Amino acid sequence: MGGLCMMAAVSCGGGTATENSECANAYSSSSSKAVIENIMARRSIRKYKPQVVARDTMKIILECGINAPNGQNKQSWEVRVVDKAETMEFIKTAMSEGRDVNVGSCFRGAPVMTFIARDPSYDFSAYDCGLLAQNMMLSATSLGVGSICLGSPIRFINESPKKAEILSRLGFSEGYELCLCVGFGYPDEAPDAKPRDWNKVKFVD
């Protein structure tokens, strides 16, 4: 996907102003509808097939993620990808210690989990991490991969007596704070879109 974007940019940048305009218009007309359809088709998936998403596919998703807009190009995020069942089992067991129930179900069975951490020294880092996650989820949809953005695992990890062990296993840089998780996998459900409230949106004259 990154290569396709680069090819389009290069082919539209080397001609005359008229040629470039024509190229840009052609590219826009062929792709804009697909982008909108992709956005409208994305759903939060809570039931997955057991098949792990291949790392080559995940690399495309991650590349789209780190190309998200971010303040001052600080790229104030770090991402750790867990696609090994034994590693996820360690995390689930550790975050459930001291609780009456195993809270591992909060990952919704996604066979690949990405953990995103932010740099708290930058005020807008959390927003940048959200943009990173959105780029990953939308690119995943275009590749037939389902996704879900999760906040509850962060709470369970932060409240766990084994928080330090979990974070050490994930290997984030010193000072970074766990911010959110995004799960990926091949959907085993096709949920309908939930209604959106247009009353939340107003034009200001």
Annotate the chain with DSSP letters as a single string.
Answer: -HHHHHHHHHHTSSS-HHHHHHHHHHHHHHHHHHHHHHHHH--B---B-SPPPPHHHHHHHHHHHHTS--GGG---EEEEEE--HHHHHHHHHHHHTTSSS-GGGGGTT-SEEEEEEE-TTSTTHHHHHHHHHHHHHHHHHHTT-EEEEESHHHHHHHHSTTHHHHHHHHTPPTT-EEEEEEEEE-BS--PPPPP--GGG-----
Q: Is the pTM of this model over 0.85?
A: no
Kindly list the domain boundaries of the chain, sorted by start residue: 2-41, 55-185
What mean pLDDT, rounded, does the chain reach? 89
State the CATH architecture for 55-185.
3-Layer(aba) Sandwich (3.40)
pLDDT tens-digit profile of 37-67? 999 999 999 999 999 999 999 999 999 999 9
**Regions of the chain where pLDDT drops below 70:** 1-32
Q: What is the pLDDT of residue 6?
A: 37
